[in-house]
C-alpha cells in the first residue's frame, strides 16, 4: 500500500484486498460512465480544470 496522507477529517481505514473482484465492467457501471461522457460532450467542462501541471 502506498503511503498517502489524507485530510484528517476524511482519514479512513483502507484495507487492500488483492482478491476482490473489480466490478468496473458491470453494465450499470458502464452505463453510468456513458452517461457522464454524453453529459460532458453536451455541456463541456470548465477550462480551469483541464491539463493542470
Taking the complex as a whole, the smallest distance from the CB of residue 48 to other proteins amounts, in Å, to 7
Smallest separation, CB 38 to other proteins (Å) = 10
Can you read off the three cell numbers belonging to residue 22? 473489480
Q: Which of 34, 30, 14 has the alpha carbon at shortest distance from 5?
A: 14
CB 1 within 8 A of CB 14: yes
Q: Which positions from 9 through 38 interact with other proteins, judged by CB under 8 A?
A: 9-18, 20-24, 26-30, 32-33, 35-37
CB of 42: closest distance to other proteins in angstroms? 10
Amino acid at each position: 500500500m502506498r503511503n498517502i496522507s489524507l485530510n484528517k477529517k476524511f482519514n479512513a481505514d483502507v484495507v487492500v484486498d488483492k482478491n476482490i473482484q473489480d466490478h468496473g465492467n458491470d453494465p450499470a457501471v458502464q452505463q453510468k460512465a456513458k452517461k457522464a461522457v454524453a453529459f460532458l460532450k453536451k455541456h463541456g467542462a470548465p477550462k480551469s480544470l483541464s491539463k493542470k501541471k
